[in-house]
Amino acid sequence: MNKEEIIDRFHSYEPNIDAILISKAYDFSEKAHSKQARASGEHYFVHCHAVSSSLVDWKMDLPTICAGLLHDVIEDTPVKEDTLRQEFGDEITKLVLGVTKLDHLQFQSRDDAQAANWRKMLLATAQDIRVIIIKLADRLHNMKTINFLDGERQKRIAEETISLYAPLAHRLGMFEIKSELEDLAFAVLEPEQYHSLNKKLELRVAEKEKTLAEFTQALEEALSSSQVQHRITARTKSLYSIYQKMLRQAKPFEEIQDALGVRIITDTVSHCYALLGIVHSRFKPLAGTFTDYISLPKINLYQSLHTTVMGPQGALIEVQIRTEEMNRTCEYGIAAHWRYKTGDGKEDIHLEEKLNWLRQWIEWLQDLKSPREFLESLATDLTLHQVFVFTPNGEVKVLPAGATPLDFAFAVHTEIGYSCIGAVVNNKMVKLDYELQSGDICQVLTRKNSNPKKDWLQIVRTARARSRIRRYLRDRGLEA
């Protein structure tokens, strides 16, 4: 794909914006990297081109696409910040600086360097979400070309991708990118498992093709009578998500039922529920498989109805039902909400609300001084597996799997956390290190003048709780 194709694709969704700056950034970056080659032997600019191509796929704005083209010029070429600012202005330069590593500093260890770079990138992301979107496009192409690196570097990059980048994409609701990053890393870290599962999945798709076709036809017949606007697509779980489910449930691939499924996409929320009713009246639902992520969305913006029903020949088929907007959000997450200005020039309040959790979370992470603790806490809070725990009043708190009543207490309020002395879960007294489960109702017991203890740091799992405890201990000269 050449420069003109990128500009044409940009104009397909932004027809009224002059793309001369994209052309300028393209030429500037190509010239800056002219004497560089990648490990594959390709011209280095191929990478910058690929990053900008992903950003166009995600329908990002002009400054983001330009920054994607230029994202490595300060880090990898003689181009200086002042030159970039003079040529492309403050906005694009800030985006490039946000994804530029701190390679000019000396670090005592790889952990120090990794933690410092993540801190820097997350702080830049808190100011402008587009920074992490560029970084995800950068990492996606690096993972696609990782086979040209030596084995040790492949493993290190794949581990960072699967433990930090993919979960961050998940938390931002960018499921397509998250799944692609996971599968690319999985192929590096567990090549035998990856290839074995890939073959089994291909066989199952071939075997179930007729079943899925029959089910889809019967489903279409059932839905057509409703005259509700909809479209049906087939879906396959990613290899890594299948592998993780096998590990969690201690089951072989042959016993994983929802590797294949269908997705029904419609126009309104009310139509989602109407179509669900038709599906359940026509096909027998499997007890305990219905989940409503529309009325209770995930923290990463994900919304959909999930149910598993009995298809032809007794086949179990997962059905997901969502609106077109939910589907766009599912694919691109926060990137689907990238517009910082609405038509009248006012800030997108909804986008700002969606970013509040990220900003607050980054603030908590700043209190963690140890690089290893910072990285571990980051990985924990990015976990793909969450639990939904309720207060006695019915308010839900979303926590990472493994979270304790102490984490819950701090999620309710810092002062509740400070004065916590115990907890009652589902009407039973539990220890503070009890692992909460989805659906638990947790009542925090408090006592006036009770204070956080050092050993609480060994119990809590969330960055918020850890940050608050450390701050309390530090302010009183008690920190270990």
Residues counted in the chain: 480
CB–CB of 47/72 below 8 Å? yes
Q: Encoding tokens for residue 228?
A: 């509700």
Question: How far, in Å, CA of 47 to CA of 37, rounded?
Answer: 10
Question: How far, in Å, CA of 45 to CA of 333, rounded?
Answer: 28
Beta bridge partners of residue 400, listed in sequence order? 386
Q: Encoding tokens for residue 353?
A: 């609300």
Q: Is 350 left (phi over 0), alpha (psi -120 to 50) or beta?
A: alpha
Q: Catalytic residue among 76, 91, 111, 348, which?
A: 76
Single out the residue of 316, 129, 89 nearest to residue 208, CA to CA.
316
For 199-207, the CB contacts below 8 A with 24+ separation are 200/253, 200/254, 201/236, 201/239, 201/242, 201/253, 201/259, 204/259, 204/260, 205/236, 205/260
Q: Catalytic residue among 14, 30, 75, 112, which?
A: 75
Active site residue 57: no
Active site residue 128: no
Catalytic residue set? 75-76
